[in-house]
Amino acid sequence: MHRVRRAKANRVFEYWYAWRGGPQILAAAASNPRSLAREVARKAPTAAAAYRTQARPEKRPVDHLTLYGLITRYLELMTVDRSLAPAPRSIVESTSTSCARNSAN
């Protein structure tokens, strides 16, 4: 959450954003910092609920019919189980060179 405070012409403002550059989830203004703190405390529960809805990714329907859907599901599984990830290039190269040496003998 990104919080911004401003003071302008005998007024104090506080804005909360879900993240830097994200949607605004709270805006409060008051004549002094103490009353601003009370105003923010009053609005904080609704701001927290707004943050939770903004931060939660939307569930997209699973695409079982296309190649794109198959690739998407594979990539999602890779993030969960790193053993499904492709081997690093250095391991693949060393394996292929050692296999080439063995077949030459």
pLDDT of residue 31: 93
Note the residue count of the chain: 105
What's the whole-model pTM score?
0.51
Residues 14-51 as b or e (16 or more Cβ within 10 Å = b): bebbbeeeeeebbebebeeeeebeebbeebeeebeebb
Q: State how far the Cα of 34 lies from the Cα of 68, in Å rounded to an integer.
A: 54
Phi, psi of 14 (to 5 degrees): -135, 130
Contacts of 76 (CB under 8 A, 6+ apart): none
**Mean per-residue pLDDT pooled into runs of 10, the chain (105 residues):** 89 91 91 92 91 75 77 78 65 57 57
pLDDT of residue 56: 73
